[in-house]
Amino acid sequence: MIRTATNATIELGTATTDTGMYALLHINDHGRRVTISLDDREIRELIGHCVTAWGQLHHHN
Protein backbone atom coordinates (compact mmCIF):
# COMPACT_ATOMS: atom_id res chain seq x y z
CA MET A 1 0.00 0.00 0.00
CA ILE A 2 1.13 3.52 -0.78
CA ARG A 3 0.12 6.36 1.54
CA THR A 4 0.19 9.79 -0.05
CA ALA A 5 1.20 13.09 1.54
CA THR A 6 -2.51 13.90 1.92
CA ASN A 7 -3.12 10.55 3.69
CA ALA A 8 -4.97 8.93 0.80
CA THR A 9 -4.05 5.30 0.09
CA ILE A 10 -3.38 3.41 -3.12
CA GLU A 11 -3.34 -0.38 -3.17
CA LEU A 12 -2.22 -2.38 -6.17
CA GLY A 13 -3.77 -5.59 -7.42
CA THR A 14 -4.42 -7.64 -10.53
CA ALA A 15 -7.45 -9.17 -12.17
CA THR A 16 -7.82 -11.66 -14.98
CA THR A 17 -10.87 -11.68 -17.22
CA ASP A 18 -11.73 -13.40 -20.48
CA THR A 19 -10.31 -10.34 -22.28
CA GLY A 20 -6.92 -10.36 -20.51
CA MET A 21 -5.06 -9.41 -17.37
CA TYR A 22 -5.32 -5.98 -15.79
CA ALA A 23 -3.60 -4.02 -13.03
CA LEU A 24 -5.95 -2.58 -10.44
CA LEU A 25 -5.42 0.62 -8.51
CA HIS A 26 -7.67 0.78 -5.43
CA ILE A 27 -7.70 4.41 -4.33
CA ASN A 28 -9.18 5.59 -1.03
CA ASP A 29 -9.17 9.34 -0.60
CA HIS A 30 -10.70 10.03 2.82
CA GLY A 31 -13.62 7.64 2.34
CA ARG A 32 -14.08 8.22 -1.38
CA ARG A 33 -13.15 4.91 -2.96
CA VAL A 34 -12.54 4.05 -6.58
CA THR A 35 -10.91 1.15 -8.40
CA ILE A 36 -9.24 1.76 -11.73
CA SER A 37 -8.28 -1.07 -14.06
CA LEU A 38 -5.37 -0.61 -16.47
CA ASP A 39 -4.33 -2.75 -19.43
CA ASP A 40 -0.71 -3.20 -20.52
CA ARG A 41 -0.60 -0.06 -22.68
CA GLU A 42 -2.20 2.06 -19.95
CA ILE A 43 0.25 0.72 -17.35
CA ARG A 44 3.22 1.70 -19.53
CA GLU A 45 1.72 5.15 -20.08
CA LEU A 46 1.13 5.64 -16.35
CA ILE A 47 4.70 4.56 -15.53
CA GLY A 48 6.01 7.03 -18.12
CA HIS A 49 4.03 9.86 -16.55
CA CYS A 50 5.23 8.88 -13.07
CA VAL A 51 8.87 8.87 -14.19
CA THR A 52 8.42 12.27 -15.83
CA ALA A 53 6.77 13.72 -12.72
CA TRP A 54 9.46 12.23 -10.47
CA GLY A 55 12.12 13.76 -12.67
CA GLN A 56 10.47 17.16 -12.49
CA LEU A 57 10.17 16.95 -8.70
CA HIS A 58 13.77 15.78 -8.36
CA HIS A 59 14.99 18.57 -10.62
CA HIS A 60 13.21 21.26 -8.58
CA ASN A 61 14.28 19.97 -5.14
**Spatial contact of 24 and 34, defined as CB atoms under 8 Å apart:** no
**Spatial contact of 24 and 42, defined as CB atoms under 8 Å apart:** no
Three-state SS for the chain is CEECCCCCEEEEEEEEECCEEEEEEEEEECCEEEEEEECHHHHHHHHHHHHHHHHHHHHHC
Tens-digit pLDDT profile for residues 4-20: 999 999 999 999 999 99
**Is the pLDDT reported for residue 59 higher than 90?**
no
CA distance 53 to 47: 10
pTM exceeding the 0.85 threshold for the entire prediction? no
